[in-house]
Structure 1
Amino acid sequence: MATFTTDTAPQTAPGGEMAVPETRVRWSVPVALFSCVLLAFFDKISIAALFTDPHFQQAMGIDFDTTRLGLLMSAFLLSYGFSSVFLSSLGDKISPVKLLSAMMVSWCVLMVLMGLSHNYSVMIALRILLGIAEGPLLSLAYTIVRRTFPARLQARATMMWLLGTPIGAAIGFPLSIWLLNSFGWQSTFFVMALLTLPVLILVRIGLRHIPHLATGPGATSQQARRSARHMLMRNPHFWLICLFNIAFLTYLWGINGWLPGYLIKGKGIHLEHAGLLSSLPFIAMLLGEVTGAWLSDKSGRRAVACFISMAGAALGLFAVLHLSSPLAVIAAMSFSTFMWGAGAPNIFALLSRATPPEASATAGGIFNGLGNFAGALSPAVMGLLIAYSHSMDAGLLFLVMAAALSCVLLLPLLKRY
């Protein structure tokens, strides 16, 4: 495995991007980041498997109130977005290993407290705290990869840690439903807390050679970073990418929040089959991320890859609305998530192309934070639409419209990126 060296200084590539020497590439870095994202995603979506459980609803003091259940996901995402925007700069001040270790310890404690909670208001508060604790994760992962991998490998390195999202959902949903049916709703939280321990060990091993981003190789002066941030705020392409990411994450969190409920309530799939079937679209998402990263690194057309991915995602979901066979529904849903996955690693590579490297943490924090602020509304908006229309399809149609809008936003960037 290639390791970091200290005798080769970073250079600047055309366009201002830092050129990372091949001898400094260490693939254990995205592997460790993958384990972090996987764990965090387990924590995010475990709550969604409980939405249709009467014992959980009784413990929280609510019935199948789609609006209040949706708020359990939205409360997390709102605080997650706030934390991503305002706390991601900690990655420039604190060692990545120390920061990630502290974050994971807090995740573990909060999951235990959720398992002990029997009050809806307390659960909302704990979900908010979990969002704050997880907020800087993706920005920190993006910044680490950008500083430690050459541009031609960044989509693939990003894909490796982003795989934690679909794998987390593919494993997390059936695992949560199995735990729910076998041991009760509290076990879903306690098991997620227990999984923190092996991940913490892997992170401390895999990232032990990562330098402090503010003082290590490639670090820049405070004045240069301030100038880069000023340029970033005046960059219209950066803001278009942020708007695209809002629609991009609206799709993701809408699917994560309501897929099991949609299959059970909307398509009449029995609970014992929903866990397995709900994992298939996320397996397809995983394959999409691998395929999209490889093709995009070969072509270098980041904006085009993102455009095609969301156009396909919209078409797949639109087909789901008109299908009734469980297998046909899952096939169309899987096509949609495959196409979404093909764009996931490319959107970070697109952000890297359009922003100065000196403002990586700031760009990643704003990009991820704004996307999750808006994405946070997706489960709640879908819940309101479902309640108002008395149709689960209304929530899915909202995601189709968001995906179509995201394609329009990318039109000005297709030729340049």
Structure 2
Amino acid sequence: MANQQVSVSSVTNELETQQEEKVNWFIPIGLFSCVLLAFFDKISIAALFSDEQFQKALGIDFDPTRLGLLMSAFLFAYGISSMVLSGIGDKFHPTKMLLFMVSSWCFLMIFMGFTHHYGTMVFLRILLGIAEGPLLAISYAIVRRTFPQKMQARATMLWLLGTPLGAALGFPISLYLLHNFGWQSTFFVMAAFTVPVWWLIIIGIRHPNLSHKQNKNANGQVSPHEIAETKLQRNILLRNSHFWIICLFNIAFLIYLWGMNGWLPSYLIKGKSINLEHAGILSSLPFIAMLFGEAIGAWLSDRYDRRALVCFISLLGAVAGLAGVLLLDNTYSIILMMAFSMFMWGAGAPNIFALLAKATQKQVSALAGGIFNGLGNLAGAAAPLLMGVLITITHDMDSGLLFIVIIGLIGSLLLLPLIKKY
């Protein structure tokens, strides 16, 4: 009789799992749209750096330092928000939080479109960074609650693809709008994109576990033993030298990402004298290469389980490609070399999270992820500003890319002690 009950229970659980798997794929699609939109908002400002009308509207002309600060101010606020507000999805219904966040992005983009003052634009960029900071943590929490463990990697990959696709589509869309309708249109169109995303959240991101976990947290109590165990694991994490090495590697990894996102269009236009319309089309190709790099890198790493080695080769190959760009003058050669560089970077993107998971305990995954993501984005926030300062001092756009090459080389070498173990 007991065996029959277990059998019935197993069949019921299996049927429920199959039903969830059919419905739950709408969840990463909704999250993908959020990440895609967020990345549009992140990089749209970079397309305006070389626009004289935008510079005149803010009263700054072509000042690389102050233009870089527009990206760095956002990223600094984003990094702080990512660390401080990363647990917000555990205290409030995550779907409602996403709706609130996307709505705030819409209003902030509209305000930016009407802004004609540099200080106000910086302030609005800071608010946008705060509003977008919790997105990845909330997305991860939603997937973890609604997907079985064996499917979480695929679900996570789906919404993470919004990052390279957002850059691949965001640059040409922003440059097209800028060239044909003026700088203000880039903000207003991005604001309009929030409407379909808002509805995708309502339609797609629904699951009983999203509410059930919150009620359980509100009414349940944590035992003293669990509290003591959590403190022990936290202390072990903070004394884990391998964890801090991975965090330092991630800093170099994200300096590459945000440095390229902040200055790629301007570098192609002013540093390599590529026509604006050509840059709008061609500047998306490296980010398309990044997308393929993510897919291939994830497959290779899962197949051979060599997380640290893949990450090491990824960043080393990325900076080698950038070094090649510095030596080239032909437009198509430059784009192909930059595409190779970003393909290599993309190969490491999904693996760095797998490397972090391999080197840390599951009990402190949220803490480890918050420190890891927050420190990386805080350091990455400085990249556009530092590159702007270097360009101003040297009067040479190549100096910005050289900065990324040096930091990336140091970061990749940091992983050498971890290659055999992970």
TM-score, length basis structure 1: 0.90
1:352 to 352, 357, 370: 357
Match of 1:169 in 2: 167
Query: How many angstroms does 1:154 deviate by?
Result: 4.7
Match of 1:131 in 2: 129
Contact 1:214 1:220 in 2 (8 A): no
Asked if 1:231 is matched to 2:236, the reply is yes
One-letter amino acid matched to 1:211: L
Q: Secondary structure at the match of 1:195?
A: helix
Match of 1:316 in 2: 321
Query: How many angstroms does 1:277 deviate by?
Result: 1.0
One-letter amino acid matched to 1:378: A
Asked if 1:194 is matched to 2:192, the reply is yes
Query: How many angstroms does 1:348 deviate by?
Result: 1.4
Match of 1:121 in 2: 119
Residues 357 and 22 of structure 1: is their aligned pair in 2 closer, same or farther, counting only changes over 3 Å? farther
Asked if 1:248 is matched to 2:246, the reply is no
Match of 1:12 in 2: none
Alignment of 1:263-278 (within 5 A): 263-278=268-283
Aligned mates of 1:247, 1:201 — CA distance in 2: 36
Query: How many angstroms does 1:374 deviate by?
Result: 0.3
Contact 1:76 1:128 in 2 (8 A): yes
2:86 to 66, 88, 91: 88
Query: How many angstroms does 1:225 deviate by?
Result: 4.5
Query: How many angstroms does 1:31 deviate by?
Result: 2.1
One-letter amino acid matched to 2:271: G
Aligned mates of 2:232, 2:195 — CA distance in 1: 41
Identical residues among aligned pairs (%): 62
Structure 1: state its 5+ residue gaps.
10-20
Query: How many angstroms does 1:157 deviate by?
Result: 3.2
One-letter amino acid matched to 2:314: S
Q: Secondary structure at the match of 1:117?
A: coil
Q: Could you give the per-residue CA deviations for residues 101-141 of structure 1, whole angstroms, max 9, x where no partner exists?
A: 11111111111111111100000000000001111112222
Alignment of 1:175-186 (within 5 A): 175-186=173-184
Query: How many angstroms does 1:204 deviate by?
Result: 2.7
Contact 1:31 1:161 in 2 (8 A): yes
Moved more, 318-327 or 29-38: 29-38
One-letter amino acid matched to 2:108: L
Contact 2:245 2:415 in 1 (8 A): yes
TM-score, length basis structure 2: 0.89
RMSD of aligned residue pairs (Cα, Å): 2.4
Residues 231 and 139 of structure 1: is their aligned pair in 2 closer, same or farther, counting only changes over 3 Å? farther
Q: How many residues align?
A: 401
One-letter amino acid matched to 1:60: L
Match of 1:403 in 2: 408
Match of 2:204 in 1: 206
Query: How many angstroms does 1:416 deviate by?
Result: 2.0
Match of 2:4 in 1: none
Aligned mates of 1:369, 1:376 — CA distance in 2: 10
Contact 1:155 1:346 in 2 (8 A): no
Aligned mates of 2:97, 2:283 — CA distance in 1: 33
Contact 1:140 1:361 in 2 (8 A): no
One-letter amino acid matched to 2:33: S
Aligned mates of 1:348, 1:215 — CA distance in 2: 29
Structure 2: state its 5+ residue gaps.
1-9
Residues 142 and 408 of structure 1: is their aligned pair in 2 closer, same or farther, counting only changes over 3 Å? farther
Query: How many angstroms does 1:304 deviate by?
Result: 1.6
